[in-house]
Amino acid sequence: MQAIRDVLTPRPLPEPIEPGHARRRRRLVVAATLVAGTATLVATLAAPPGSLAFSLLGVLLAAIWVAGSVAAGPLHLDGPPTSIESRRNVQAAVVLGGLAFGAFLGASVVASHVPSLDDAIDSLLATADAGPTALVLAIAVVNAVAEERFFRGALPVALVGDHKAAVATAVYVMVTVATLNMALVVAAAAMGTVFMLERLATRGILAPTLTHITWSGLMLLALPG
């Protein structure tokens, strides 16, 4: 439990020192990526589940987040931790993903009594159950990696001030609001906060990425339909 507390105990992100033109370019790239990514996310969820269009748009969405994070510039991450710290962070991140799934499993039981949330969850489960499981899982994993690189990597670096982590998390939630799926919005608010805390605690994106992959995989494979 101490390891989990450690990866959830935030430290302030340092302000990267960049020339003005680099900062402006970074913000423009991040803003353009947000617009393109949000539009593609909406189109992906609007496509028939399991269809070729759904798969291609899912891959395109991941490509947009990664391309945007690369084009924006360096992520200014801390150097790799010691081998012991790295192993503890990896283990804690995976366990945290499992705990998050357990929490959502319990919440889904409560949500089943709330019509709007129940319908939203059913819609997501229908998407997860459509098409080959391996393909749906692969798309989810790729997007988890891509989202962490952009939303916990490039986006916070493009912001300034003491509240940039909170602003980045709010932006992450607002992107999912465009899907009009309440279950996605609630998940983004809860897990986006967890991912950002890991980002702040470890000064890197490996821990939130591992938690995101573990949680997403369990949600797809183990959440009752």
User: What sign does the dihedral 106-211-188-37 (CA atoms) show?
Assistant: negative
Which pLDDT belongs to residue 3? 82
Closest CA to 183 of 98, 120, 225: 120
Q: Give the DSSP letter of residue 181.
A: -
Q: Read out DSSP for 40-65?
A: HHHHHHHSPTTSHHHHHHHHHHHHHH
Q: What is the reported pTM?
A: 0.92
Angle between helices 52-72 and 133-149 (to 10 degrees): 20
11 DSSP assignment: -
pLDDT category at 152 given cuts 50, 70, 90 is: very high
Phi, psi (degrees; rounded to nearest 5) at 8: -115, 5
Digit-coded pLDDT (tens) for 16-44: 788 889 899 999 999 999 999 999 999 99
| 187 phi, psi to nearest 5 deg | -65, -40
* Element of type H or E holding 79: none
Residue 110, pLDDT > 80, answer no
Q: What is the pLDDT of residues 173-210, one digit of tens each?
A: 999 999 988 889 999 999 999 999 999 999 999 999 99
Phi, psi (degrees; rounded to nearest 5) at 163: -110, 20
Asked whether 43 and 57 are in contact (CB, 8 A), the reply is yes
Q: Residue 123 has which token pair?
A: 């819609």
Q: Are 198 and 93 in contact (CB under 8 A)?
A: yes
